[in-house]
Structure 1
């Protein structure tokens, strides 16, 4: 009787581990943009890294629903972000840091996500969820209302993107596994680089390199950098446990969040992640995505 009971316990343990593995695979291969995204807000803080000083967060969206995926304009004067307001679809908005005014940039039947100003400066690129749920890269003119343009006709499903120069991008392509790919706009060609990656793609300051999170296993995630011209990959640092969103400051410092706290790590200077601030007193419990202005003075934080 005891032997049979032990076998049942061992079997249940094996099944449990199997189900955990299945859940991890499903979690990392679902569509990048859910039809029912979580309620999120975007906060801004002022940074003084030399003195390790961070201001109290300011909520710039204050909107019940989904406000996410912020990115700064190259001049640092405004922030583009994704917001779900009506009809359960998302559009792109612009927040002016000086006037504190918000302007809607897109109003379409499709959903747009992850806005980024293109290297030319006269467009912003987005991931567009088309009517048939295809996710591809499009661009809209910054100057005002006009028809958007499809950029990479045959590349799908695109989850996230990062501009490397005017002709090349790093892409997060959804699949089993999710992959890091390089894409050339002028030809439409792609090059597969790595599998099992996270959603955050960030240019490395002062280098012809892009950084990403490599998920070797559910408990082993590492930030790596790719020399995108030479195609060499090198490790940088293990992520904070369970965190996959990060940004670089202009001086080469990495910032990452875990729970309500903000951490920093500077390669070849600090030996591990160090806490910079804890925003729990501001009612923030779970931070996710980050964006930083070109001067490294203003940080946007998404709180879920």
Structure 2
């Protein structure tokens, strides 16, 4: 099966060249960090791959191919910098661990195997370790690191908690989604790792934190109210926040292509927003005919040749 898409601009054609899409099924799937309670099991989600070819008459997507075989929660994919593998979270027997899928061989290997639960795997700037949000035995959520070569894990931030999601800005700087407590809202914080000094940037952020390509800015969703969610940009130098574009109602997951095109999904449709030419979201692809119902997470490989969705 081929899904033919209209080529809206040469800029988009270049950005989507040889893209790869990974799509998770199931409207009940949850992409946020689940409750640490052993009785709380998130919904099922699978990961699919769709090859994309850029042709003269448009962009073509292949039939989705499922890459996960375990029937359960498979989520939070994160590309390795070389584009050859994907790290993701899988919950098996009520235990969340990190797995690695090799895009060349199709093999899956387990990265962590601990009594605790690990979520949101992200390769660290050193290229040797993976940072994760770890739900410890007492329910504490802190940021830990695991070596790709094995060995014992270690704490990255001892005192900052509870961590929900994270993004590496530099080797010594993190952007953190900190869960609210005692009537305090969730917050977006910039943290200096050596000193654990934290700066609160915004309250009520969404879970997705991204660096904007070719800019010294960080993007996040600001949940102003239940009805108004806006993607905003935080300038890491001037510390100023500017508005980019509204999200679809109830949708907070998005990703940047290396070319600067923003992607967001609604149901089975993928939309793009090019800040240079688009006033609003433009439909990019429709996967409903392939049997997909709801896309819940998006991430893009470093080279922009692959896109992951759950």
> Do these two structures clear the TM 0.5 threshold for a shared fold by scoring above it?
yes
**Going by fraction, where is helix more abundant, 1 or 2?**
1
Once residues 288 and 61 of structure 1 are traced to their aligned partners in structure 2, the CA distance between those partners, rounded to angstroms, is: 16
Scaled by the length of structure 1, the TM-score of the pair is 0.85
Alignment coverage as a number of residue pairs: 270
Aligned to 1:54: 61
Compute the displacement of 1:55 (Å).
3.2
Aligned to 2:283: 275
Structure 1 window deviating more from structure 2 (41-50 vs 98-107): it is 41-50
Once residues 72 and 79 of structure 1 are traced to their aligned partners in structure 2, the CA distance between those partners, rounded to angstroms, is: 5
The one-character-per-residue Cα deviations of 1:217-267 (angstroms, maximum 9, x if unpaired) are 111111001112321111111112221000100100011111111111111
Correspondence 1:67-216 to 2 at 5 A: 67-86=74-93, 88-143=94-149, 145-175=150-180, 176-216=184-224
Once residues 32 and 173 of structure 1 are traced to their aligned partners in structure 2, the CA distance between those partners, rounded to angstroms, is: 12
Contact 2:178 2:189 in 1 (8 A): yes
The one-character-per-residue Cα deviations of 1:73-126 (angstroms, maximum 9, x if unpaired) are 01111000000112x110000000000100000000000000000011010100
Unaligned runs of 5+ in 2: 1-31
Compute the displacement of 1:32 (Å).
3.7
Higher radius of gyration, 1 or 2: 1
Once residues 177 and 54 of structure 2 are traced to their aligned partners in structure 1, the CA distance between those partners, rounded to angstroms, is: 30
Once residues 49 and 82 of structure 2 are traced to their aligned partners in structure 1, the CA distance between those partners, rounded to angstroms, is: 16
Contact 1:161 1:170 in 2 (8 A): yes
Once residues 53 and 248 of structure 2 are traced to their aligned partners in structure 1, the CA distance between those partners, rounded to angstroms, is: 22
Give the one of 270, 292, 303 matched to 1:295.
Answer: 303
RMSD: 1.5
Contact 1:48 1:54 in 2 (8 A): yes
User: What secondary structure, in the 3-state scheme, does the structure 2 residue paired with 1:281 have?
Assistant: helix
Contact 1:223 1:235 in 2 (8 A): yes
User: What secondary structure, in the 3-state scheme, does the structure 2 residue paired with 1:190 have?
Assistant: strand
Per chain length, whose mean CA-contact separation is higher, i.e. which structure has more relative contact order (CA < 8 Å, sep 6+)? 2
Distance change (3 Å), C-alpha of 1:250 and 1:49: farther
Unaligned runs of 5+ in 1: 1-30
Once residues 262 and 64 of structure 1 are traced to their aligned partners in structure 2, the CA distance between those partners, rounded to angstroms, is: 25
Once residues 275 and 69 of structure 1 are traced to their aligned partners in structure 2, the CA distance between those partners, rounded to angstroms, is: 24
Aligned to 2:16: none
Scaled by the length of structure 2, the TM-score of the pair is 0.84
User: What secondary structure, in the 3-state scheme, does the structure 2 residue paired with 1:171 have?
Assistant: strand
Contact 1:223 1:239 in 2 (8 A): yes
